Structure 1
Amino acid sequence: MRLYAISDLHLGSTENRETLSAITPRPDDWLAIAGDVGETEEHLRFALDALGGKFARLIWTPGNHELWSLPPGSPRGRARYERMVELCQARGALTPEDDYPLAAFGGRTFRVAPLFTLYDYSFRPDDVPFEQAVAWAREAGVRCADEIMLDPAPHPDRPSWCRERCDLAERRLRAACADGTPTVLINHWPLLSELVRVPRAPRFSLWCGTRRTADWPRRFRAEVVISGHLHMRGTTIVDGVRYEEVSLGYPQQWRRRIAPDALAVQVLG
């Protein structure tokens, strides 16, 4: 059995929906979907229905786009996230709210841990105070739609929600990894700040993760860490840990660059 991964499907795009429907079936293997499937429940349902019959099991983690309050009148904040979890669980997909299962890929056993950490604006220079972080980004013309579209309710702000999510994930990882089994960590946002390279808008790093997760890959014996968000697909090794950025992205970013049979990246097996 093998583990494949993909993220940032952005199914608001007709071309992305058509391409996803043609993905190569791998009925004996698992597929991790590391967030930004789309902006609506319909986008998530489409992905789960299109991929569910082509893989033995799906694993889903949310990205910021799933948490946007679209369409108007839809659930917001934690309620929206919980609704997306319900949709996944109803179709048998593993979520960050489920137990971390053991699975054998390529003859080795791993503990598979889908995460939801969000971000807290800590991916910034040390001399930029937290209170001035968003203004610092705006000075360079950098804005993120999350500031309007991603409601953190019932939390007062997104960093507070991030703190709650990291507290929960850290407790669960500590308990689940006590037996020493190597892990596969799956999260939409990169776990390390040094992985965030956005040449055209470097100050966008504010919305790309939290320093809180920097030591998780080593502490929790990660064999591989899967993420998306950056739309910069590739492999990076840091301190002996392999990091796979598996974004598809918008059509202009992947067209003529990613073949249909390579939409999903093989990460184990």
Structure 2
Amino acid sequence: MRIFAISDLHLDYAANREWLQQLSQHEYSDDVLILAGDVSDRLTLLDEAFKALTMRFSAVLFVPGNHDLWITRERVHTSFEKLDAVTKAADEHGVHRDTFRNGELAIVPLLGWYDYSFGAADDYLKSAWADYRACRWPGYDEAALTQFFTEHNPTLSSPSLQDAGQIITFSHFLPRIDLMPERIPDKHRKIYPVLGSNVLDEQLRALGSGTHVYGHSHVNRRVMIDGVTYINNAFGYPSESHFTARELVQVH
């Protein structure tokens, strides 16, 4: 059994949908796919992705990204309702949202959001970042929302992790800001506050994870920091094809 990972499919773009449909229907039949969020903000496209991927892999593991929880093009009133709809779609296709076990190996999804632990959001970011308009979380600010998601994540005492000899974790959001390479220009660092949360790194390390897959940044990278290998394999927008791999990456 091999484990592959990808994130940020953004199936709103025809070129990305074409890539999905051309994936081999035989090559990955014994393998597992980690799908680390941002498939589409359209439920019909999310459904299409789950159907296509579960036909090709023995198991598909998923966490939602911020785009998956946008409500502007769906008949829902809040992003909590959208989360319920995304959850229902995953369950209908047999997509795994909980810890996946294969013998001693455990693959653990970590839900999250951003809580400004990577920096404060300025007025520019609040006007430019689409989540502030496309998501609606009544009664929750970013810190409370991050807590809402992360408090549901497994701990070492969870029954699903008993006797696990090796742990791989994955999230959509970044667990630490130093995963962004030094080469990133200052003008692009303005979005750092909405990339993730330090809580995720605390949680994955408490679990004893040796490998963590993440998405969201569209900056593909594989780097080891303090004993943990962090892997980002974002498919990204068609305009980013000159720097994203736009292919599956084997992580185990």
Aligned residue pairs total: 245
Give the partner amino acid of 2:155. Answer: L
**How many Å separate the matches in 1 of 2:177 and 2:109?**
19
Q: 2:218, 2:244 within 8 Å by CA — same for their partners in 1? A: no
1:40 and 1:70 in contact (8 A); partners too: no
Spell out the pairing of 1:89-104 with structure 2 (5 A cutoff): 89-95=91-97, 98=98, 100-104=99-103
Give TM-score, length-normalised by structure 1. Answer: 0.84
Distance 1:256 1:212, change over 3 A: closer
Match of 2:106 in 1: 111
Candidates 200, 204, 220, aligned match of 2:191: 204
Give runs of aligned pairs for residues 69-218 of structure 1, distance below 5 A.
69-95=71-97, 98=98, 100-104=99-103, 109-124=104-119, 133-135=120-122, 138=124, 143-153=128-138, 155-169=139-153, 172-176=154-158, 177=161, 179=163, 181-197=165-181, 198-199=184-185, 200-218=187-205
Give the aligned partner of residue 21 of structure 1: 21
The one of 243, 254, 257 equivalent to 2:241 is 254
Q: Secondary structure at the match of 1:215?
A: helix
**What corresponds to 2:33 in structure 1?**
31
CA offsets per residue over residues 19-53 of structure 1, 9 Å max, x none? 11112341000111100001110111111112111
By how many angstroms is 1:221 displaced? 1.1
Cα distance, 1:175 vs. partner?
1.7
Contact persistence 1:190–1:196 (CA under 8 A):
no
Partner of 1:7: 7
Summarize deviations over 1:115-147 as a string: whole Å, max 9, x none: 2111111111xxxxxxxx322x62x89831111
Deviation at 1:214, TM superposition (A): 2.6
Residue 100 of structure 2 aligns with an amino acid whose one-letter code is: P
Query: What is the alpha-carbon distance in structure 2 between the residues aligned to residue 65 and residue 12 of structure 1?
Result: 11
Q: 1:237: which partner in 2? A: 224
Distance 1:18 1:75, change over 3 A: farther
Matches within 5 A, 1:50-65: 50-65=52-67
Question: Are 2:169 and 2:209, in contact at CA under 8 Å, matched by a contact in 1?
Answer: yes
What residue ranges of structure 2 are gaps of 5+ in the alignment? none
What secondary structure does 1:31 align onto?
A: strand
Q: What amino acid is the match of 2:71?
A: S
Is residue 13–residue 237 contact of structure 2 (8 Å, CA) maintained in 1?
yes
Structure 1: segments with no counterpart, 5+ residues? 125-132
> Aligned pair 1:68/2:70, yes or no?
yes
The structure 2 residue matched to 1:221, chosen from 195, 208, 213, is 208
The list of structure 1 runs, each at least 4 consecutive aligned residues, that deviate by more than 6 angstroms after superposition, is: none
When the two structures are superposed, what TM-score results if normalisation uses the length of structure 2? 0.89
* C-alpha displacement of 1:255: 5.8
> 2 CA distance for matches of 1:37 and 1:267?
20
**Percent identity, aligned pairs only?**
26
CA RMSD of aligned residues (A): 2.1
Deviation of residue 256 (structure 1)?
8.7
* Partner SS state of residue 201, structure 1: helix
SS of alignment partner, residue 82 of structure 2: helix
For 1:237 and 1:212, how far apart are their aligned partners in 2? 18
